[in-house]
Structure 1
């Protein structure tokens, strides 16, 4: 499967934003250390975290640690560095699906799936394959609606994986479809890696798009993103409502 997916009018972010990504990510991480305060609001249900393209487990370790401190049973996806699907996409997804089903069977509770960038594609597709096991999906900077020519990640994908032969119009259409479970797409208009418009999910009774001010590389540490994630995960199962930002007192 290739990272490019949907042909459309969208363009990749300006090179100026891309160039600023590493520095902005450092600031986002620093802000997380200073401004992210864990609150014990979790109910202990399992949350599987999928890293972005080229991401090793350590890239989501801060996020997983924060979620554990908030009372959630956060897990790494368990596949090491995310170099993209290995071999046939659906056959490869079957292995990840088995993991989701195993977490569900062990706990007797539905599992939340949290995916960053390309990892969000996995989360969305897994929720479509086993919706009875999935409580909700949250994606961070995942351009499921348009990646062809609208991201700066395609070259990296080719270097890591090289297999760009599997994408078809049918698969493109499938990836655009919203999972049949509550779904939140977190995006940033100043994302330097992917076009933010490609991250917009159609609004419905069980789906939403939430804007933040994070960099793409800083999505997994930015304090505002952390607040959104925890707010979404803390909702009692079966009572999902769209995100509402807290109003600051006058």
Structure 2
């Protein structure tokens, strides 16, 4: 199944890891997309310790990483984010759509109440964020707004950690929703998820 994916065209693709994960967690995806012929890179910012930082200096650093890849390649960048990484990818696309070609989120609960997960308390503890803080609520609403670039949401009813139904917004204009069968942990290395990403990049509908 992985071998039947369409070949890449060399476009730049940046991979954003989930909460507390680093580029290492995205290495199998990165290798796969590079073998297909894309220029896939990590985000280069170490472990992902939460979305709070994107409202300040860390957000500037992430946007700077995307801008650097854009400048190096002369092309807009496709952002592929897993879980919290997908939420942050949407943040970048809202703030700097001139840098972003498209956004692909994988198991990213951006479209509903974050308490519709089994890990929201752990999220607050790890990140220092309070979900009801005014700034957090405002940022969540911004991220959930329809994107100004093409977007795909890959999600699963059998996620187990987050409610898969809030990992996509069917009423978002132009959003492509792809349902897969996968648990949340390790979704970034599931063959079905990798194939779905490759199909989106290759413009294939299955």
TM-score in terms of structure 1 length: 0.75
- Rounded Cα–Cα distance in structure 2 between residues aligned with 1:122 and 1:81: 13
Q: How far did residue 38 of structure 1 move?
A: 6.9
- Structure 1 unaligned segments of length 5 or more: list them: 1-34, 236-242, 246-250
Does 1:129 find its partner at 2:95? yes
Matched residue count:
204
Q: How far did residue 58 of structure 1 move?
A: 1.6
Aligned pair partner of 1:177 in 123, 132, 145: 145
SS in 2 for 1:233: helix
- Rounded Cα–Cα distance in structure 2 between residues aligned with 1:39 and 1:112: 17
Residue in 1 that maps onto 2:105: 139
- Are residues 53 and 178 of structure 1, via their aligned partners in 2, closer, same or farther at CA, if it must alter by over 3 Å? same
Per-residue CA shift, 1:47-94, capped at 9, x if unaligned? 110111111222111111111111111111111111114646244212
Does 1:192 find its partner at 2:153? no
Kept in 2, the 8 Å contact 1:85–1:92? The answer is: no
Larger relative contact order (CA 8 Å, sep ≥ 6): 1
- Rounded Cα–Cα distance in structure 2 between residues aligned with 1:38 and 1:69: 12
Residue in 2 that maps onto 1:208: 176
Kept in 2, the 8 Å contact 1:68–1:74? The answer is: yes
Q: How far did residue 200 of structure 1 move?
A: 1.7
Residue in 1 that maps onto 2:127: 161
- Rounded Cα–Cα distance in structure 1 between residues aligned with 2:52 and 2:144: 21
Kept in 1, the 8 Å contact 2:129–2:136? The answer is: no
- Structure 2 unaligned segments of length 5 or more: list them: none
Aligned pair partner of 1:81 in 41, 47, 63: 47
- Rounded Cα–Cα distance in structure 1 between residues aligned with 2:57 and 2:155: 29
Q: How far did residue 234 of structure 1 move?
A: 2.1
Kept in 2, the 8 Å contact 1:181–1:206? The answer is: no
- Rounded Cα–Cα distance in structure 2 between residues aligned with 1:88 and 1:63: 24
Per-residue CA shift, 1:151-206, capped at 9, x if unaligned? 12223323322232464443332121021100000000000111011112235663
Kept in 2, the 8 Å contact 1:49–1:75? The answer is: yes
Kept in 1, the 8 Å contact 2:5–2:195? The answer is: no
Residue in 1 that maps onto 2:188: 220
Greater displacement, 172-181 / 110-119: 172-181
Say what the alpha-carbon RMSD is for the aligned residues. Answer: 2.0
- Rounded Cα–Cα distance in structure 1 between residues aligned with 2:134 and 2:23: 26
- Rounded Cα–Cα distance in structure 1 between residues aligned with 2:173 and 2:119: 32
